[in-house]
Amino acid sequence: MKKRLLVIGVVLIVLVATFYYYYTTVHVGTVKQNNIIKNGSFEDKSAWCLYDIAWSEAPENGFVLDPNGYSGKCLKIINSAVSPDRPYLYQDVSLPSGTVTKPLYFSFKYKPQNPSASFAIDIEIGWITYGLWILLSSRGAEITRGTGEVFGVTDVGGGWKQVEVAFLIGAGNYPFRINPLSVWEQEYVYLDDLYLGTEDPPSAENNLLTNGDFETGTYEGWKGYYFGEFTLNSTPVSYDKFSGKYAGELNTNVWIIFQKLNLSTMNSVYFRARFKILPSETVENSINPSCTNPPFALELRDSVDRCVFWFFYNNPMENVPAGEFSLLCLYKTYYTFEIVSTKKYTNGWRECIAKINSSIDCYDNYAFYVEFWNAEYFPSDTKILVDDLYVGYEPPSSAPPSWLDLLYENWWIPSLAVLCVLIIAVSAKLRKKRKV
C-alpha cells in the first residue's frame, strides 16, 4: 500500500512540475518561429499542388500569383476558381501535437477585392472527420470543424487583415487545402503570409511606440519622469515577463516612464497595456483608503501638458464608473473613448485594450506616460511590470489563450482523462476480486 501511494505521489509531483515549468517558461509573445507551411508567402509556385499536379505545371484554373501582396507576391484566387469541378490548392504538412498545454498556431492575411461583397473560402487542415476547418467569408473567419479559437483579427492596413488562430490536433501528417466555395460576388481575393507552427503568429502591429516590448534589453526610446524628465539608468527585467525576454519595471524609485509621440490624427487611436503588480498580496492589503488615485495608469498629454486621455486600474476616482478598469477623458467635448477588451491571466498578468476618438481633426506632439501612481503609499518592494505596450491606428492583437483557458473551454478533455482513470481503477479492482 505504501509503495502504491509513493508511486502515485511521484507521478503527481512530476505532472505538477511539468505544468509549472511549461507555464512559467513558455513563450507567449510574437516571435516568428519555423513555419511548417512551405512557401506560405507565395513568392513562387513551389511546394503547392493544384489537385494532384504541381502548381507550376498545372493550368491556372483560378489560382494565380500576383505582385500586389502584403509582402512581395501573394496568392490571387479569381472568381473562376469557383467552378463545378471544385479546384483546390494544397500541400502536405507534418504537425506536432497541439494540446491544451501547447496549442498550435495558424495565421494568414487576406484582402478581398470588395470588402462588402460575398465570398467563401475553406482553409482546411486535415479531413472532414478530423482536423481544423476555417471558413473565410465576407463575415470574417470562423472555425467550422475542429477545436480551436480565432483569437485575433487585425486590420494591418491597405485593405488587408490578419487572422490568428490557436487550435488542438494530434501529431501526424495532414493535407492543407485552400478550397473556394459557393458563388462569389468578388472578382478576386488575395491571400498572403500563411504561417503554421508551435509559436504565436508573427506580429502584424504597426506600433507607434519605440521599444514597447522592451526587447532591446534597454529602455531605448523611453525616459523617466519625476517633476521633470531624466535618463533611465536601469535596465528592463527578465525574471518575469509577458512575452519575449524582457519587461519594463516601475518601482518606488522609478514611478513613471514616457516617450513622445507625433500623432497625425486622434481618430481611432488604440492603446494596449499588459501589466502585473508584484507582490499582489502586499498591494491588495496596503492600499491607503484615503488614496483615490490608482496604482497603475496610462496617460496621454498634449504639447501644453494637458491630460487628454487617462486609463487606470483599481481605485476609481470620484465621478468615474467603478470597476477594475476605468477611463477618464478631461476634454469630453472633443473626445470619446471606450475600453475595447480586458483580460486577466492565471499567471497574474492583465491586459487592457482601449480606444479614443476625436470629433475634430486634432494633431499635436503628444507624450505617452506609463505610471505607478502614488508609489509612496505602497511597501518599498512593490513593483509594476509592463510589457507589450502599444499605441497605433490599427486594433492591436490580443494574447492567445493560455493552456488553462483552452482547458476550461474544452472541458471534455480532462473529463475524458478522469473517466479513463476511473475505468482503469475499477477494472483493476474487479480483476483483484476475481483472483480472490
Q: What is the pLDDT of residue 181?
A: 85
pLDDT digits (tens, 9 = 90+) for 74-129: 999 988 766 666 789 999 999 999 887 789 999 999 999 988 888 999 999 999 88
- Average the pLDDT over 366-383 and give the result: 84
Asked if CATH classification 3.30.420 holds for the domain at 223-392, the reply, yes or no, is no
Q: What is the pLDDT of residue 182?
A: 72
Confidence of residue 21 (pLDDT cuts 50, 70, 90): very low
Query: Of 165, 390, 335, 372, nearest to 250 (Cα)?
Result: 372
Q: What is the pLDDT of residue 227?
A: 81
Residue 20, phi then psi, degrees to nearest 5: -65, -45
Instruction: Domain 49-204: give its CATH code.
Output: 2.60.120
Q: What is the pLDDT of residue 289?
A: 45
pLDDT digits (tens, 9 = 90+) for 392-416: 887 787 766 555 655 655 566 667 6
Q: What is the pLDDT of residue 12?
A: 60
Instruction: Tell me if the bond preceding 279 is cis, omega within 30° of 0.
Output: yes
- Average the pLDDT over 256-276 and give the result: 86
pLDDT digits (tens, 9 = 90+) for 41-56: 998 999 999 887 899 8
Query: Of 103, 97, 290, 294, nearest to 199 (Cα)?
Result: 103
- Give me the chain's average pLDDT, please: 78
Confidence of residue 27 (pLDDT cuts 50, 70, 90): very low
Confidence of residue 331 (pLDDT cuts 50, 70, 90): low
**pTM given for the model:** 0.52
Give the separation between CA 112 and CA 188, rounded to whole angstroms.
7
% of residues, the chain, pLDDT over 90: 32
| Residues 267/358, Cβ–Cβ less than 8 Å | yes
Q: What is the pLDDT of residue 332?
A: 52
- Average the pLDDT over 239-243 and give the result: 88
Sheet holding 325-328, edge to edge: 229-230, 223-225, 256-263, 364-372, 296-301, 307-313, 325-328
**Dihedral sign of CA atoms 323, 326, 328, 334 in order:** negative
The residue among 154 and 383 whose pLDDT is bigger is 383
Domain residue extents for the chain: 49-204, 223-392, 402-436
- Domains 49-204 and 223-392 agree in fold: yes
Confidence of residue 236 (pLDDT cuts 50, 70, 90): very high
For residue 276, is pLDDT > 60? Answer: yes
Beta-bridge partners for 162: 109, 154
Please state which of the ranges 154-163, 199-208, 349-358 shows the lowest mean pLDDT: 199-208
For residue 292, is pLDDT > 80? Answer: no
Q: What is the pLDDT of residue 323?
A: 47
- Average the pLDDT over 161-169 and give the result: 92
Please state which of the ranges 114-123, 129-138, 285-294, 361-370 shows the lowest mean pLDDT: 285-294
Q: What is the pLDDT of residue 316?
A: 43
Which residues touch 139 (CB under 8 Å, ≥6 apart)? none
Sheet holding 120-126, edge to edge: 53-54, 49-50, 89-95, 172-180, 120-126, 131-137, 140-145
Q: What is the pLDDT of residue 380?
A: 81
For residue 39, is pLDDT > 70? Answer: yes
Q: What is the pLDDT of residue 125?
A: 96
